[in-house]
């Protein structure tokens, strides 16, 4: 699959409730995220899920949001500030070669990889980096849009996750997405 990154300006469209109809961040995330957890969110865009993650982890938790597009992160920062959640969110610019989260080694409780792995272009590298940042038993909610990612490609990405030490422990039903709940062994 060709490597394509969602343009920054499309982030505005992706935060509209009408576009995300049927994808309620609280309903998708609440079964998997706990207070005080450390959460990693690669490719947060303008924060459709990030703000809800920050609410769920509470004041003693934190969300590390990493993206390669500074304009997306600027908009996320503004939205988080307006929502009063910026103090819970660590916003980082990643490179095209790495998420830049080596300092998190073994400390992440939950990772949300929503509609992002197909954009990274190297699923094996992504899942190795995610596994390194994760605690044993950490969860990774992995979802790819059916309109962009064929089921066979999603299965290839799941194999890359397994090679990195993640096992499928559930198949949450997320509208218009291939999805899997993974656990680090």
Q: Which residues contact 86 (CB under 8 A, 6 or more apart)?
A: 77, 80
Q: What is the count of structural domains for the chain?
A: 1
Q: What is the pLDDT of residues 39-75, one digit of tens each?
A: 999 999 899 999 999 999 999 999 999 999 999 999 9
The answer to the question of residue 85 being in a domain is yes
Check which CATH number belongs to the domain holding 142 and give it. Answer: 3.40.50.150
- For the whole model, what pTM was predicted? 0.89
How confident is the model at residue 1, as a pLDDT? 36
Let me know if residue 7 belongs to a domain.
no
Helix, strand, or coil (residue 23): coil
- pLDDT of residue 18 exceeding 90: no
Domain for residue 1, yes or no?
no
Structural domain including 34 reads 24-184
Sequence-separated (6 or more) residues with CB below 8 Å from residue 89: 50, 54, 62, 63, 64, 65, 76, 80
Beta strands in the chain (DSSP E): 38-42, 62-67, 89-93, 108-114, 134-145, 166-170, 177-184
Q: What is the CB neighbour count within 10 angstroms for residue 124?
A: 14
């Amino acid at each position: 699959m060709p490597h394509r990154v969602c343009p920054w300006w499309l982030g505005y469209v992706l935060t509209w409730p009408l576009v995300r109809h049927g994808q309620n961040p609280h309903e998708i995330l609440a079964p998997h995220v706990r207070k005080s957890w450390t959460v990693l969110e690669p490719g947060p865009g303008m924060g459709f899920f990030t703000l809800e993650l920050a609410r769920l982890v509470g004041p003693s938790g934190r969300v590390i949001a990493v993206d390669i597009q500074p304009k997306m992160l600027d908009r996320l920062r503004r939205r988080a500030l307006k929502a009063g959640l910026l103090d819970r969110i660590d916003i980082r610019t990643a490179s095209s070669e790495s998420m830049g989260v080596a300092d998190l080694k073994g400390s992440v409780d939950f990772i949300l990889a929503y509609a992002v792995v197909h954009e990274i272009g190297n699923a094996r590298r992504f899942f190795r980096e995610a596994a390194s940042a994760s605690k044993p038993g950490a969860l990774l909610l992995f979802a790819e849009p059916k309109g962009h990612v064929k089921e066979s490609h999603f299965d290839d990405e799941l194999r890359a996750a397994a090679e990195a030490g993640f096992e499928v422990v559930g198949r949450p039903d997320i509208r218009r997405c291939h999805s899997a709940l993974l656990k680090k062994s």
